[in-house]
Amino acid sequence: LSFVWPRSCAANRLHVWAARSTTAAEYIWKLRKGLPDSFRKMREKLQTESRRQKKWYDRRTTDCKFNITDKVWQATPKRNKLGRIWEGPYRILQQSGHSIYKIIKE
């Protein structure tokens, strides 16, 4: 089964295509001329989306502050369906970064 355009539609399409035809050099020139504007628009959209995602992330998250010598539990990936998710207690020895802690098991 194949589809064939009626003769009048095919002739109209050919006429429109012939009116729009450009050389390869003109096509490349138009393409290169439009690229900086396209890049600028995409950068703006990415920045807007990044701000939106940050706003939603910050709305849902909470920072936990711990002191040295506090006791904490460490989350571990599930090994099996009924495995324990948390291990501990651990004692905090030092803080290495904003939310990075060195711990030792008690």
Break the chain into its structural domains and give their ranges.
7-60, 71-105
pLDDT over threshold 60, residue 5: no
pLDDT over threshold 80, residue 34: yes
- Encoding tokens for residue 98? 């904003």
- The conformational region for residue 2 under phi > 0 = left, psi -120 to 50 = alpha, else beta, is beta
pTM over 0.85: no
Give the end-to-end CA distance of the chain in Å, rounded to a whole number.
75
What pLDDT, on a 0 to 100 scale, did the predictor assign at position 83?
82
* Secondary element (H or E) of residue 28: helix 24-60
pLDDT over threshold 90, residue 36: yes
Q: What is the mean pLDDT of the chain?
A: 84
Beta-carbon contacts of 91 under 8 Å, excluding residues fewer than 6 positions away, are 69, 70, 71, 72, 103, 104, 106
pLDDT over threshold 70, residue 71: yes
Q: In the structure, what pLDDT confidence band is assigned to residue 52 with cuts at 50, 70 and 90?
A: very high
CA distance 45 to 43: 5
- Encoding tokens for residue 29? 């020139």
What pLDDT, on a 0 to 100 scale, did the predictor assign at position 97?
84
pLDDT over threshold 90, residue 49: yes
